Structure 1
Amino acid sequence: MTPEDTARRLIDANNYLTLATADRDGHPWASPVYFTPDGNDFYWVSRPTSRHSTNIAERPEVAIVIFNSQVPFLAGEAVYLTAHAEQVGVPELSRCLQIFRSRRSELAAFEPGELKLYRARVIDASVLINDGGPDIRVPITLCR
């Protein structure tokens, strides 16, 4: 299995990613968000007033980790991403909502209301390989 295969397996198997943001002064914040992947883009919905959303408005650079938290000690695998995040604007909203809704049937009729759609565009990606040795991160390309 290639590192890209490992990353795709982890992304496809998980509903939540951990989104790490920072405010304008650099104070960190991490939040789990339900996501839909689309190549190098990751979509989620959130209130614009939530801490991670206000952080993104001030400082759009984010980090993301996707992993299986149920594996035993020393068997971890993870996808690490750095990305530029933003609230999806009106011109792209309809198309991007279709992408967000496409992942799971329970999202088919989802309407954002007070929630807004956000997107993270990946800049760099790597995967933590479980090879029984020390943690090794391998750079990867995500696009399908």
Structure 2
Amino acid sequence: MSFTGLVDRTRRILDEARYLSLATVSNDDRPWAAVVQYAWVAGPLRFLFGSPAESRHSRHIASRPWVSGSLYVAGDPTSLTSVDGAQFTGRCFELGAEDVARFHATFYDAVLPDPQQRAEWTLPESDLVAPAAHRLYVVDVERWWLVDTRTWAQDRVDRRVEMPLSELSR
């Protein structure tokens, strides 16, 4: 199977979606979903996002790092076939000071592309590590699925096709 089309779609979704939905589970097995603004990094695929350390999803991540999520691009609102999306699973961790320094600019350049807004809203690195109130997190994506548009066009059944993440690095 050629993954070229899936890689192109993946890159488009990663570049165009502004937010992702992140699903976590508490220690007492209660699910939660949070919408977070993100930056993505390839090789391997990772998502960066910032959140308060006391948010529900951050507390869940601290004790149960397995997460899942989804991203979507709406496209032309009058065309059902222009909508595209992806789902993923992975592990999520709070970044330490060294990694915050490494990814700080990557994260803020992506979520605040306007230089004036970035200057106004960017938190300094020291405000993103313990004991500060906010943290920078990374999701190491382990599996990635796209809507299988080939079969949907034939039978209108919503299926997914898994794309090996190694294809994204090529």
What is the number of residues matched between the two proteins?
Answer: 144
In the aligned structure 1, how far is the partner of 2:102 from the partner of 2:74?
32
In the aligned structure 1, how far is the partner of 2:104 from the partner of 2:138?
10
Q: Which runs of 5+ in 2 are unaligned?
A: 128-132
Check whether the contact 1:3–1:129 (CA below 8 A) recurs between aligned residues: no
Question: Partner of 1:35 in structure 2?
Answer: 38
How far the C-alpha of 1:139 sits from its partner, in A, is 1.1
How far the C-alpha of 1:98 sits from its partner, in A, is 2.0
Which of residues 8, 18, 23 in structure 2 aligns to 1:5? 8
In the aligned structure 1, how far is the partner of 2:143 from the partner of 2:160?
12
Letter in 1 for 2:33: A
Among all aligned residue pairs of Structure 1 and Structure 2, give the percentage whose two residues are the same amino acid.
Answer: 27
In the aligned structure 1, how far is the partner of 2:29 from the partner of 2:80?
31
Q: How does 1:62-77 map to 2 (within 5 A)?
A: 62-69=67-74, 71=77, 75=81, 76-77=83-84
TM-score, structure 2 as length reference: 0.76
Check whether the contact 1:4–1:141 (CA below 8 A) recurs between aligned residues: no
Which of residues 16, 19, 24 in structure 2 aligns to 1:16? 19
Structure number with higher helix proportion: 2
Task: After superposition, give the CA deviation of every residue in 1:50-103 in whole Å (9 maximum; x if it has no partner).
Answer: 001001001000001001356468534211110100111112110111221232
Deviates more, 1:109-118 or 1:86-95: 109-118
TM-score, structure 1 as length reference: 0.88
CA RMSD of aligned residues (A): 2.1
